[in-house]
Structure 1
Amino acid sequence: MRSLPLLLAGALLSASVSAQNLSSLSQDEASDGLKDTLEQSVQLAVKQLGKPGGFANDPLVRIELPGRLEQAARLMKQVGLGARADELEKRMNLAAEAAVPQARTLLAEAVRNMTLADAKGILSGGEDSATQYLKRSSGEQLRQRFLPIVAQATEQFDLTQQYNALASQAATFGMLDNKHGSIEEYVTEQTLNGLFKVIGQQEKGIRGNPAAAATGLAQRVLSAH
């Protein structure tokens, strides 16, 4: 077994080498390398979620019925009335899958707006710190700009009618009151939550394996950190 002094010396040497490697990069290079990493993470996430089954077949991001409506749907399924709930859930995930590709440009714009100060904070942060920056700095703006996209997909898949019909049926059986929120807002929120989860997953994977980064600069930045 290696002695504690040797282990400490190794850790200090590793930190020193890492600091030297980082110092060999300009601030602009470090920032651009992180932007490349985040942009790659975004592209991979959009590709993964924007395909058929991207949401529906992934337990991590699958959109289920909201709150009390989900509880009511479970009871309805027990008495053979679950077909409408299943159809609504299917269509919510279809709407999310149809909407996600439209977010590509919005997210790319947010990545380009990253500052040098942002980059420094990300480098000293956790393994998904770039994703957290993106969510923190652009989440609300993305939500506002994303809502009409989801609303269009909601109309395409006739979600509002399906949602209201299910809520009304549940209310008839005393399983739900007639007060329920906007299905467009709910699907938008769940779509963005799922998108950021997968962007974070992609970022962690690339940071853990710098060789997987799409650009040489990103590989240098991640290897140096």
Structure 2
Amino acid sequence: MKKTLFTVLLLSVIIPLSSFDTAPARQIKLPTNTEMVTALKQALENGTTKSADQLSAVDGFFKNAAVKILLPPEAQKAEKTLRKLGLGKLCDNTILSLNRAAEDAAQKAKPIFINSIKQMTVQDAANILLGGDSSATQYFRRTTTNELTEQFKPVITNSLSKVGATRLYGQLATQYNKIPLTFNKINPELDDYVTQKAISGLFYEIALQELNIRQNLKARTTPVLKKVFGYIDQKINQ
């Protein structure tokens, strides 16, 4: 049953043979279950590796407007006040340091994603291939978020200290908190916030890579990727 599950799902969803029993359809060779799983794992490993590499590069977060980490919401009001008081440089350096911490930690995500891919079942692969454009990203959210959080937070904590973010944000919070009539004090703790934002940025980039492999022929760089995703494209477009 498990051996034929992939083919049954694929046929039932995108190959209604009773309605399209034509010669061209019969000439298209159905990829094997092994080819389908192999292609999907190749695509996901390529996509997650590329995402982690891009975000872990210098300015991977900082110069990517979609994932750039800003000050926590409760500190953004303080940022405006501090800039008016001539402390814009402190704000800029603090924001840069948050992104440097995320960039420093992003590479640690690769083995977590690769392990999740290795654990993928035939059922998981079928759901992803036949799902929507973000089905692989949702799979990773479900299977890796807890481990990413657990393993990322210590790295983020160390990175925040290493790049000076903890010190800079502490200075920012101190400067704001001592302003007269400041009732809403800033919590100087950053670890949870930056960890969550770094993981969200990774999933955002993975979603882009997933969409690319589904829609961009040039992104299919191996024979099995071309065969499996090309086959699905043809069947969907019939």
Please indicate the TM-score interval, normalised by the length of the shorter structure. 0.7 to 0.9
Q: Quick one: distance in 1 between partners of 2:194 and 2:119? A: 27
SS of structure 2 residue aligned to 1:65: coil
Change (3 A) 1:153 1:76: same
Q: 2:41 aligns with which of 35, 46, 49?
A: 35
Matched, 1:199 2:206: yes
Q: How far apart, CA to CA, are the structure 1 residues paired with 2:119 and 2:138?
A: 14
How far apart are residue 177 of structure 1 and its match?
A: 3.1
Percent of paired sites with the same residue: 29
Give 3-state SS (helix, strand or coil) of 1:53's partner. Answer: coil
Q: Is the alpha carbon distance of 1:93 and 1:13 closer, same or farther for their aligned partners in structure 2, counting shifts above 3 Å?
A: farther
**What is the TM-score normalised by the length of structure 2?**
0.81
Mapping 1:1-225, distance limit 5 Å = 24-173=30-179, 174-175=181-182, 177-178=184-185, 180=187, 182-225=189-232
Deviations 1:83-128 (A, max 9, x none): 2111110101111111111221121111111111111111221112
| Shift in alpha-carbon separation, 1:64–1:219, aligned structure 2, 3 A | same
Aligned-pair Cα RMSD in Å: 2.6
Q: 1:180 to 1:22 in 2, by over 3 A?
A: farther
Q: 1:177 to 1:209 in 2, by over 3 A?
A: same
* Contact persistence 1:18–1:224 (CA under 8 A): no
Over residues 170-217 of structure 1, what are the superposed CA-to-partner deviations in whole Å (9 max), with x where a residue is unaligned?
Answer: 122245634526311111111111111011101111110234123221
Structure 1 length-normalised TM: 0.85
Residue type at the aligned position of 1:78: K
- After TM superposition, the structure 1 stretch with the greater mean CA deviation from structure 2, 74-83 or 60-69, is 74-83
Indicate if the aligned counterparts of 1:22 and 1:221 stay in contact, CA closer than 8 A: no
CA contact (8 A) 2:52 2:202 kept: yes
Encode CA deviations 1:132-174: one digit per residue, 9 max, x unaligned.
Answer: 1111111111111111111121121122222222112112224
CA contact (8 A) 1:167 1:176 kept: no
Distance 1:14 1:70, change over 3 A: farther
The aligned length equals 214
Aligned-partner SS, 2:49? helix
More relative contact order in 1 or in 2 (CA 8 Å, sep 6+)?
1
Alpha-carbon contact 2:112-2:147 (below 8 Å) kept: no
* Distance of 2:105 and 2:174 partners within structure 1: 27
* Distance in structure 1 (CA, Å) of the matches to 2:216 and 2:23: 18
State the 1:64 CA deviation.
0.3
Gaps of 5+ in 2: 1-17, 233-238
Output the CA distance in 1 between the equivalents of 2:156 and 2:59.
Answer: 17
Partner amino acid, structure 2, of 1:138: T
Greater Cα shift, 15-24 or 143-152: 15-24
In structure 2, the CA distance between the partners of 1:157 and 1:216, relative to structure 1 (3 Å rule), is: same
SS in 2 for 1:182: coil
Which amino acid in structure 1 is aligned with residue 148 of structure 2?
Answer: L
